[in-house]
A and B are shown apart, each in its own frame.
Chain A
Amino acid sequence: AQSVAQPEDQVNVAEGNPLTVKCTYSVSGNPYLFWYVQYPNRGLQFLLKYITGDNLVKGSYGFEAEFNKSQTSFHLKKPSALVSDSALYFCAVRDMRTGANNLFFGTGTRLTVIP
């Protein structure tokens, strides 16, 4: 079975501090992993992806994620959080069975950056 898990429903961090939003995955073979962000009453926006190559992936708005194969993790990070980073974050993995770009999403982590 293919899936991702986001163990934290809520993450609070002070503005200016580093942030981490956790994601672990379960797939057969090499995973294609994604992070999306959802601002209130909006659709999802793509942040970054890992397909192959360097384990540290850089994305939009200063976010990065580290792919760790031994720990089956793909945690989202940012060195210095902004209040505007407050949003709902989803980790996702591509369904490799169909050949289509179908995604399995985690349950989401709500990030609150405290001024």
Chain B
Amino acid sequence: NAGVTQTPKFQVLKTGQSMTLQCAQDMNHEYMSWYRQDPGMGLRLIHYSVGAGITDQGEVPNGYNVSRSTTEDFPLRLLSAAPSQTSVYFCASSPHRGGTYEQYFGPGTRLTVT
């Protein structure tokens, strides 16, 4: 049981480039989400999904796209990278129902945009 996995661990992009951050979980969780962590700001929600085919925006969605074609995978796409997207990105998952609210986090992807 690998839990939540994220690739890559590190990435450097030039302004204007695009890329996809990968996230997968093997716990059959319906809920998955992406957060970004910036110094002094805690974690902020980018996008989330409560099941395959269902996605919605979080607090800071601009510049990011997501899709959820399977229960296991929830990739985050940066369409045209900007220096303001330099951050550490965390994917998380949890059951959507059943009263278990705690989330399981991946190890993170550290992204630098130059």
Tell me the A residues contacting B by CB distance below 8 Å: 9, 32, 34, 36, 41-46, 49, 51, 90, 92, 94, 98-108
Question: In this assembly, does B90 line the interface, its C-beta being within 8 Å of a C-beta of chain A?
Answer: yes
How far does the alpha carbon of A94 sit from the alpha carbon of B48 in the complex, in Å?
A: 14
Q: Say how far B93's CB is from chain A's closest CB, in angstroms.
A: 9
Chain B residues near A44 (CB, 8 Å)?
A: 43, 90, 92, 103, 105
Is A100 a contact of B31 with CB atoms below 8 Å? Answer: yes
Is A43 a contact of B4 with CB atoms below 8 Å? Answer: yes
Complex interface: stretch among B13-21, B64-72, B94-102: B94-102
Beyond the given pairs A46-B104, A90-B43, A102-B58, 15 more chain A to chain B contacts, judged by CB atoms under 8 angstroms and listed by A's residue number, are A42-B107, A43-B90, A43-B108, A44-B90, A44-B103, A45-B105, A49-B102, A90-B42, A94-B101, A101-B33, A101-B96, A101-B103, A102-B45, A103-B45, A103-B103
A-B pairs with beta carbons under 8 Å apart, 25 shown: A32-B101, A34-B101, A34-B102, A43-B105, A43-B106, A44-B90, A44-B92, A49-B101, A49-B102, A51-B99, A51-B101, A92-B43, A94-B101, A98-B56, A99-B50, A100-B31, A103-B45, A103-B103, A104-B45, A105-B35, A105-B42, A105-B43, A105-B44, A106-B42, A108-B42
For chain B, the bracket of interface size reads 20 to 34
At the interface, is chain B mostly helix, strand, loop or mixed? strand
